[in-house]
Structure 1
Amino acid sequence: MVLLAVVAACLVTAALAACPSDQWLTNDGNCYWISAYKASWDNARKACQTMDPAADLTSISHLLENSFIVEKLGAEYAWIGLNDHMHNREFLWSDNSVVEFLYWAPNQPDNLLFKQHCVQIYDKLSGEWDDEDCSVEKTFVCKLTGAA
């Protein structure tokens, strides 16, 4: 019985220590880091991978995850990992997660001026998404999947 309690305590401690630092937020077994500065989509992705080789711009698999991120963002627009770099209008996650959830704002994506290939959380109230020119600097959200 004592051995079981020790093993359980070790597992809880290991789970709590899994995020790279206390600057990362935990939710549903994942770690998230919200930037305090702005970067282009490509530089944001590099920043995530620099912090931890397994990190990437966040993928979002359901509305509750999106809501968690929007709540933590506050009033900022932010880059997420969804993009159509490979094929126009074929959106994929940068971390290779399966695209199971999309949350576009009305009339989005629109690929305005044929140069919007990266996705941002756009509507601060609803958390809806918009495609945007990848060179625009925005805050961003990094994710370590299954790390917490």
Structure 2
Amino acid sequence: MLRLMIIAAMSLALTVSFCGASEESTVEKFDDHGWTDVDNFTKEARREDFEAESVVGVDRVSRWQCIYHGTSTCRRSCFFFYTGHHYTWHQAITQCKLHGGTLATIDDAVEDAFIGAFSYRQKSTMWIGLNDRAIEGIWKWYSGSKVEYFNWAARQPDNWRGNEDCVEIWDREKGLWNDRKCTEKRGYICKK
């Protein structure tokens, strides 16, 4: 049975290992010198563990946080969480480009649990890259990657008042997704 491992470092870094049957786990942090490994502790992880532990930096502008996941091949997904000044969805796209990423895609339940827990713990609703701006009800990632995973809140998406085309991670719903008017201002999540 594959196990999901979390490691939290004293720095603002996190790595989750869910690759193959490996029990090995590492923490990486990113600074001016690039990626470096940091040893710390491990813990079996579920969404509740992400919520219970302070595994992601609590400053208003956290550095890139990375998780490793996958069953047949190991992939690394790195996220940049910004909860300070709020931006429209389009402004968030520009901000992510400035940080070297794109407005976040969420490709599976592991990524979703990781960023949903951050949103809930920080009490911050944040933009992700999902939208149906081109055709109502046809959801696409801004990055152009294929949409293979959804995690909508109950009765969502609802296109309330006929003008909700962008998607946010909803802090009050423990990281579930909600469609929202693109001109509303939120924090944002980038991915690289």
Q: What is the TM-score with the length of structure 1 in the denominator?
A: 0.78
Q: Aligned to 2:86, what secondary structure does the other structure show?
A: coil
The answer as to whether partners of 1:121 and 1:129 remain within 8 angstroms in 2 is yes
Q: Deviations over 1:35-57 (max 9, x none)?
A: 122100000011101221xx111
User: For the residues of structure 2 that align with 1:124 and 1:64, how far apart are their CA atoms?
Assistant: 19
Name which of 102, 107, 111 aligns with 1:65: 111
The percentage of counterpart residues that share the same residue type is: 28
Are positions 1:80 and 2:128 aligned together? yes
The structure whose residues are more often strand, as a share, is 2
* CA displacement at 1:18 relative to structure 2: 5.5
Are positions 1:26 and 2:74 aligned together? no
In the alignment, what sits opposite 1:107? Answer: 155
Are positions 1:117 and 2:165 aligned together? yes
- After TM superposition, where is structure 1 displaced by more than 6 Å over at least 4 residues in a row? none
Q: Aligned to 1:38, what secondary structure does the other structure show?
A: strand
Q: Aligned to 2:123, what secondary structure does the other structure show?
A: coil
Q: Deviations over 1:98-128 (max 9, x none)?
A: 1110011111111111110000111445321
Unaligned runs of 5+ in 1: 1-11
In the alignment, what sits opposite 1:132? Answer: 180
* CA displacement at 1:62 relative to structure 2: 1.0
Amino acid at match of 1:111: N
Q: For 1:16-55, what aligned pairs fall within 5 Å after superposition?
A: 17=34, 23-28=63-68, 29-35=76-82, 36-52=84-100, 55=101
Distance 1:125 1:118, change over 3 A: closer
In the alignment, what sits opposite 2:17? Answer: none
Q: What is the TM-score with the length of structure 2 in the denominator?
A: 0.61
Question: Aligned residues, how many?
Answer: 127
- Give the aligned CA root-mean-square deviation in angstroms: 2.1
Answer 1 or 2: higher relative contact order, Cα 8 Å, separation at least 6. Answer: 1
Q: Aligned to 2:143, what secondary structure does the other structure show?
A: coil
Amino acid at match of 2:79: Y
The answer as to whether partners of 1:116 and 1:132 remain within 8 angstroms in 2 is yes
* CA displacement at 1:72 relative to structure 2: 2.3
The structure whose residues are more often helix, as a share, is 1
Amino acid at match of 1:112: W
Are positions 1:56 and 2:69 aligned together? no
User: For the residues of structure 2 that align with 1:93 and 1:86, how far apart are their CA atoms?
Assistant: 11
User: For the residues of structure 2 that align with 1:125 and 1:135, how far apart are their CA atoms?
Assistant: 21
